[in-house]
């Protein structure tokens, strides 16, 4: 009985999915700040419960400011845990709300004699962590201005004598000095982290280069020498073929060129370069060349249909689809013993649908899922460009491979 197998192996991360150490640090930073904010809010509620005389003049405003600040802190903590607080606009918004909320709390819990003056240090510290001195100093100055406004507000000072100017200056200097210290430390840490990342990147590049060289020497003594020997033997065989066998001579020469190109691509890849890309717009043409070779050289009946004939695909999509179909054809030759293969490519509604059907011996999809490197590589190529990959097969019933990928058009 044939059954469908949806390939679920996770492919290598794309550029969009990459998660760096710096991203991880930013997430942990925002979670730590969110927890600290919740701690400040809880302490504020507890202090007022133990000292209700602090809110005798503005009980409703105090209750609203403290309770809403607690709810706001819990909501921000929830978003931090969901990794949704790393965007710069959100950082600016939360820091601004912190400053405003704390100013209201200070006003409603005793004016300049509030026990919550030190809460102004929270947005100063968070600004220094996020932006260094250029963030902490402006926030500290805003806090000083708001604190001064509260001091000069008659409603806040009517309960008692005004706070001395010396105390006001000391508290203002406290915020500014705190902003400078934390801002400097944060910027120093950021520079050190940047240097460590650069050193780590350099070390990784050096290790990669060293590994490439090691593999290159091993391949040179093994596979590359075998390929070089193959070229020499092909040349020797070609020299002994009568001149009348022109088609066979041309085929031997084509095999020699293909082997030389393969050696060149291997050396180029090991040297840090990229393999020769598929020329954009030649996907169907290249697949027809593969089909002709398999028909003339291997006796395999390959039927290739494309709708439309001229596919409009991005260079990356063409390259990955080409390698997927070529790997499927290779598997037919090596494993399936099929006599016929049908390949269909259909581009419609922004999607490319591909199917590959052979009449070979088939296989057990459960066993192949565990051990099949070729199918795994094909699935990873499809998923790399955002597609889905399916295999349907059973012993004695042939194999059907289907895939669906976004068909991004070329310019």
Q: Cα-Cα-Cα-Cα dihedral of 314, 319, 322, 324, to 10°?
A: -110
pLDDT for position 156: 46
Average of per-residue pLDDT across 100-121: 75
pLDDT for position 183: 82
pLDDT for position 1: 47
pLDDT for position 303: 92
pLDDT for position 199: 78
**Cβ density class 322-338: b for 16+ within 10 Å, e for less:** bebbebbbebbeebbeb
pLDDT for position 345: 94
Which H or E element spans position 4? strand 3-6
pLDDT at 275 over 50: yes
- 351, 307 contact by CB (below 8 A): no
Average of per-residue pLDDT across 325-347: 87
Which pLDDT band holds residue 390 (cuts at 50, 70, 90)? very high
Average pLDDT, the chain: 77
Which pLDDT band holds residue 346 (cuts at 50, 70, 90)? very high
- 126, 76 contact by CB (below 8 A): no
pLDDT for position 388: 93
Average of per-residue pLDDT across 60-67: 84
- 336, 372 contact by CB (below 8 A): no
| 319: nearest Cα among 397, 231, 384, 228 | 384
Sequence-ordered list of residues with C-beta below 8 angstroms from that of 182, at least 6 positions apart, any chain: 124, 125, 128, 129, 136
pLDDT for position 56: 58
More confident residue, 163 or 182: 182
Query: Which range has highest mean pLDDT (13-17, 214-218, 377-381)?
Result: 377-381
- 46, 257, 260, 284 from 297: Cα distances, Å: 85, 17, 20, 20
Query: Which range has highest mean pLDDT (49-53, 141-145, 194-198, 378-382)?
Result: 378-382
Segment 181-206, tens digit of pLDDT = 888 888 887 788 778 778 777 777 77
**Structure-token pair, residue 167:** 């105390």
- 117, 168 contact by CB (below 8 A): no
Segment 292-327, tens digit of pLDDT = 877 876 788 999 999 988 888 888 889 889 889 988
**Structure-token pair, residue 312:** 């409009």
Share above pLDDT 70 across residues of the chain, in percent, rounded to a whole number: 75
- pTM for the whole thing? 0.44
pLDDT at 281 over 80: no
Which pLDDT band holds residue 11 (cuts at 50, 70, 90)? very low
């Amino acid at each position: 009985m044939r059954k469908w197998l949806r390939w679920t192996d996770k492919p290598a991360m794309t550029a969009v999915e990459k998660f760096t150490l710096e991203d991880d640090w930013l997430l942990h930073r925002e979670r730590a700040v969110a927890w600290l904010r919740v701690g400040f809010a809880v302490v504020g509620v507890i202090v007022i419960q133990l000292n209700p005389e602090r809110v005798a003049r503005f009980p409703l405003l105090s209750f609203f400011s403290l309770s809403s600040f607690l709810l706001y802190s819990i909501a921000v903590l929830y978003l931090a845990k969901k990794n949704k607080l790393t965007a710069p606009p959100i950082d600016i918004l939360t820091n601004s709300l912190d400053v405003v909320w704390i100013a209201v709390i200070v006003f409603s819990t005793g004016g300049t004699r509030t026990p919550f003056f030190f809460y102004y240090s929270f947005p100063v510290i968070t600004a220094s962590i996020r932006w260094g001195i250029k963030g902490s100093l402006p926030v500290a100055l805003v806090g000083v201005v708001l604190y001064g406004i509260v001091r000069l507000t008659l409603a806040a000072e009517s309960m008692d004598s005004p706070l001395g100017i010396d105390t006001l200056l000391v508290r203002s200097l406290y915020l500014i000095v705190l902003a400078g210290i934390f801002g400097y430390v944060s910027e120093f840490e950021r520079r050190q982290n940047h240097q460590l990342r650069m050193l780590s990147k350099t070390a990784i590049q050096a290790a990669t280069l060293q590994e490439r060289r090691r593999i290159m020497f091993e391949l040179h003594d093994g596979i590359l020498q075998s390929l070089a020997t193959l070229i020499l033997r092909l040349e020797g065989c070609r020299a002994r073929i009568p001149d009348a066998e022109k088609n066979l001579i041309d085929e031997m020469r084509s095999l020699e060129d293909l082997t030389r190109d393969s050696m060149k691509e291997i050396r180029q890849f090991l040297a840090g370069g990229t393999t020769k890309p598929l020329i954009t717009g030649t996907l169907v043409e290249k697949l027809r060349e593969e089909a002709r070779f398999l028909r003339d050289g291997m006796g395999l009946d390959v039927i290739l249909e494309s709708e439309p004939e001229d596919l409009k695909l991005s260079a990356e999509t063409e390259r990955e689809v080409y390698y997927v179909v070529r790997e499927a054809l290779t598997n037919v030759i090596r494993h399936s013993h099929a006599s016929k293969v049908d390949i269909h490519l259909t581009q419609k509604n922004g999607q490319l649908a591909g199917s590959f059907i052979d009449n070979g011996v088939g296989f057990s999809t459960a066993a192949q899922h565990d051990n099949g490197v070729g199918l795994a590589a094909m699935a990873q190529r499809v998923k790399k460009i955002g597609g889905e990959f399916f295999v349907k097969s059973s012993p004695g019933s042939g194999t059907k491979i289907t895939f669906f990928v976004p068909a991004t058009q070329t310019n």
